[in-house]
Amino acid sequence: MLALALLALLCVSAESVQPRTSSYNGEYGGGGGKRFSHSGNQLDGPITAIRIRTNSYYIVGLQVKYGKEWSDYTGGSRGDLEEIFLYPGESIIQVSGKYKNYLRQLIFVTDKGRHLAFGKDTGTSFNAAPLYPNTVLRFFSGRSGSVIDAIGLHWDLYPSE
């Protein structure tokens, strides 16, 4: 009984000293398509590059480079593929965009002051930013089929080497 009480006390105090770092925004978009998540990919390193396919209406597809490894491509095959590389050490600290049933626009803001925009400026707006200071975009999740139906943004500390 005493051991249990001590354990409970330990857990409570550990929680109060340990600062929280991870937060989540989403899911923005519709309920179609199939779920995807890059939660395992974040172990390959920080986000270093992003490929986004767009057509005249939607964000069609997404592929993300974590450290030196590209994630699987998710989404459809029709449209133009664009690729942006982050600078060494640069992180995404805000993601805004537009959606309706499907994702229509994504704008990434980095800690080096860059705004990288993809897609069309129509639909319902969202604005995602981390809850905790000094945390950055670590991975994506969402839903996809022939386009990206919805997107979720996961924030945490920049990974240490």
Nearest 5°: the CA angle 96, 36, 81 is: 60
Count of H helices and E strands in the chain?
1, 13
Which part of the chain contacts ligand MMA (CB under 6 A), choosing from 13-21, 48-56, 105-113, 140-148? 140-148
Q: Is 20 left (phi over 0), alpha (psi -120 to 50) or beta?
A: beta
Question: Which residue lies nearer to ligand MMA by CB, 62 or 147?
Answer: 147
Question: Looking at 80-88, 110-118, 139-147, 151-159, which segment touches ligand MMA (CB under 6 A)?
Answer: 139-147
Using alpha carbons only, what angle is made at residue 117 by residues 116 and 118, rounded to the nearest 5 degrees?
130
Tell me phi and psi for residue 16, to 5 degrees: -75, -25
The nearest distance, CB 80 to ligand MMA, in angstroms, is 17
Q: Which of 15, 8, 26, 1 is nearest to 130 (CA)?
A: 26
Q: Is 57 in the site for ligand MMA (CB under 6 A)?
A: no
Nearer to ligand MMA, 31 or 113 (CB): 31
40 binds ligand MMA (CB under 6 A): no
Select from 105-113, 128-136, 141-149, 150-158 the region that touches ligand MMA (CB under 6 A): 141-149
Name the token pair of 1.
């009984």
| Count of positions on this chain that bind ligand MMA (CB under 6 A) | 7
Would you count residue 46 as binding ligand MMA (CB under 6 A)? no
151 closest CA partner among 110, 84, 76, 97: 97
The residue from 21, 23, 24, 32 that contacts ligand MMA (CB under 6 A) is 32
Contacts with ligand MMA by CB under 6 A lie at: 32-33, 144-147, 149
